[in-house]
Amino acid sequence: MKIFKDSYLLILFSLFSLITTSVPSTADCCPASWILWGQHCYYFQFVNTEGWQDAENRCKAMALCDRPSHLASVHSREEQNFLYEVLRLAAPPESSWGPSLYIGLLVGNSQTQMSWTDGSCVDYTNWIGVEPNNAPGSVGMISNGIGRLGGWHDRSSGGLAADKYVCKMPKNERC
């Protein structure tokens, strides 16, 4: 009977070890300093970067071996609300447009020629009023300027002006 009990305990212990070693904790879903939301991790930088291309380069430099990282793409009202809520809590309005978060949106020759740096489809936008109005070659931003409430605007010349940014990468697929 004791042998049976010991075997039973050994099986239980083995199962527990298997579960605890194969299922990552929530903290393992994203790298340190990244926030998990949905199927992706997000990294917010509220210290101004040197511009949109610099921000995109910094995002790409944080990629992991099988998890590409770019300035964030936005694909739903829910994702937009998440990004705006973090921006709103971290950076209060300071001007008509600022602060703004660079996202991975490029505007081509016209408003209808838009693309994301991560290669995903442009299936959602949140432009304010006449925006985007700086094409071609402008870049998109989420604004927490006075009364902007997370609406998007574009900035010309590849976004050379310093501002904040948000990166995005897929979460750990084992999560």
Chain contacts with Ca ion (rule: CB under 5 A): 133-134, 153-154
Considering the complex, what minimum distance in angstroms separates the CB of residue 134 from Ca ion?
A: 4
> What are the φ/ψ torsions at residue 24 (nearest 5 degrees)?
-70, 150
Considering the complex, what minimum distance in angstroms separates the CB of residue 128 from Ca ion?
A: 9
11 vs 149, beta carbon nearer Ca ion? 149
Six-digit token string for 27: 């903290």
89 vs 130, beta carbon nearer Ca ion? 130
Q: Specify the pairing of strand 40-45 against strand 164-170.
A: antiparallel
84 vs 152, beta carbon nearer Ca ion? 152
Considering the complex, what minimum distance in angstroms separates the CB of residue 170 from Ca ion?
A: 30
As a whole number of angstroms, the distance between CA 99 and CA 2 comes to: 68
43 vs 152, beta carbon nearer Ca ion? 152
Considering the complex, what minimum distance in angstroms separates the CB of residue 133 from Ca ion?
A: 5
Six-digit token string for 98: 């600022």
72 vs 151, beta carbon nearer Ca ion? 151
Considering the complex, what minimum distance in angstroms separates the CB of residue 51 from Ca ion?
A: 15
CA distances from 33 to 1, 72, 126 (A): 52, 15, 27
> What are the φ/ψ torsions at residue 63 (nearest 5 degrees)?
-60, 150
Q: CB of 26 within 8 A of CB of 36?
A: yes
As a whole number of angstroms, the distance between CA 83 and CA 74 comes to: 9
Six-digit token string for 146: 């006075």
